[in-house]
Amino acid sequence: MNVYLGLSNLYIVHAEKELNKGYADIVMEPFIARYEGIKYSYLLEIKYIKAGVKPGDKEVQQLKTAAEEQLKQYGIDEKFRKNIDKTTLIKLVLIFSGREEIYMGEA
């Protein structure tokens, strides 16, 4: 996923970037120096669970809640907020069961 996201020149993509005493899975900071009109920045938290788990299972809800808390923590990092101050931050949670995506949503 990181490779595909990095194909665009619009964003600087960081994997496992340290933010507020944690490590965000994927951070997409807009390349403002080159493209001033970018309106959004992104934080992605990716979770994996054993194959065969269904989207409505309790384990999925627990992972979703944990990911949302992590994103909340990362989103308040002061240095990061200064870098993206002219954009709207979108926080996304992705949960995979085996190789299937079983949840994707905004936190």
CATH of 2-106, one of 3.40.190, 3.40.630, 1.10.3470, 3.30.70: 3.30.70
Instruction: Give the 3-state secondary structure of residue 88.
Output: strand
pLDDT value of position 6: 84
Q: Is the pTM of this model over 0.85?
A: yes
Alpha helices in the chain (DSSP H): 2-5, 58-75, 78-83
pLDDT digits (tens, 9 = 90+) for 26-54: 999 999 889 989 999 999 999 999 999 99
